[in-house]
Amino acid sequence: MTNPSPRTRVPRPFALAALATAGAVGLLAPLAAAPPASATEGTAPPACVQYYASWRYTQVANDCSTAVSISVQYANGQSSTCRTVQPGTWATFDGYGTDTNYVTGLLTCTPAPVAAVFHATATTTYGQNLYLAGDIAELGGWDPAKAVPLTTDDTNYPLWTADLHLPADTPIAYKYIIKNPDGTVIWESGDNRTATTPPTGTFTTDDTWH
């Protein structure tokens, strides 16, 4: 049995040169040293979240120790799509455009989940079933007892499918497992599969059992 392997944390890509390519005057304030993020929805984010606004892009940097969900507020009263910015990373939102619709600040928010469709091709024997296990609660937190079942039928076999909802704009790690009739579990081999769900829309996979 191959257990899930640890996921490597992505280092913070703090590159002012990249931000400067956004195209206009802006300011990214110095970031604090990775304090935790805590804020009530619809309020200003903690000081460890800062932004750089230009006419083309708004870059939001998260130097907190946890993920923060952010929407950018504009002078015309509109808000951007709510996105989750992972610790030590930054995300790109729309800028204020040529109509000088300036960015007025950031607010915390709760992103809507995205529809996820997992397709996996796996050959099984009678009584075996395919499941999906992963590192977030929606995928069972690597607990085989909480893994998500996939389904198939005589027409589609050996293609299995699972439909569910996942947090938006979130990195995930996952593997497929086979459960035997006696309750034993077979983990697919190799490294964890990894992906990042989109900010909106649908997330789809097309995998083959390892």
Q: What is the pLDDT of residues 28-77, one digit of tens each?
A: 433 334 445 545 678 999 999 999 999 999 999 999 999 999 999 999 99
Domains 16-108 and 114-208 belong to one CATH topology = yes
- Do residues 30 and 72 lie in contact, with contact meaning Cβ atoms separated by under 8 Å? no
Question: Domain residues of the chain, as ranges?
Answer: 16-108, 114-208
| pLDDT over 90 percentage in the chain | 73
pLDDT value at residue 199? 86
Residue 128 scores a pLDDT above 70: yes
User: To which H or E segment does residue 20 belong?
Assistant: helix 16-20
**CA distances, 45 to each of 112, 183, 184 (Å):** 18, 46, 46
pLDDT value at residue 27? 40
- pLDDT bucket at 99, cuts 50 / 70 / 90: confident
| Average pLDDT across the chain, whole number | 85
pLDDT value at residue 30? 38
Q: What is the pLDDT of residues 102-116, one digit of tens each?
A: 999 999 999 899 999
How many Å is the maximal CA-CA distance in the chain? Answer: 65
The CATH superfamily holding the domain 16-108 is: Alpha-amylase inhibitor (2.60.40.20)
User: Of the CATH numbers 3.30.420.40, 3.40.1190.20, 2.60.40.10, 3.40.50.620, which one belongs to the domain with range 114-208?
Assistant: 2.60.40.10
Euclidean distance between the first and the last CA atom of the chain, given in angstroms as a whole number: 12
- What average pLDDT score do residues 133-158 get? 97
Whole-number Å distance between alpha carbons of 123 and 112 = 35
Whole-number Å distance between alpha carbons of 3 and 45 = 37
In the Cβ-directed half-sphere of 163, how many Cα atoms lie within 13 Å? Answer: 3
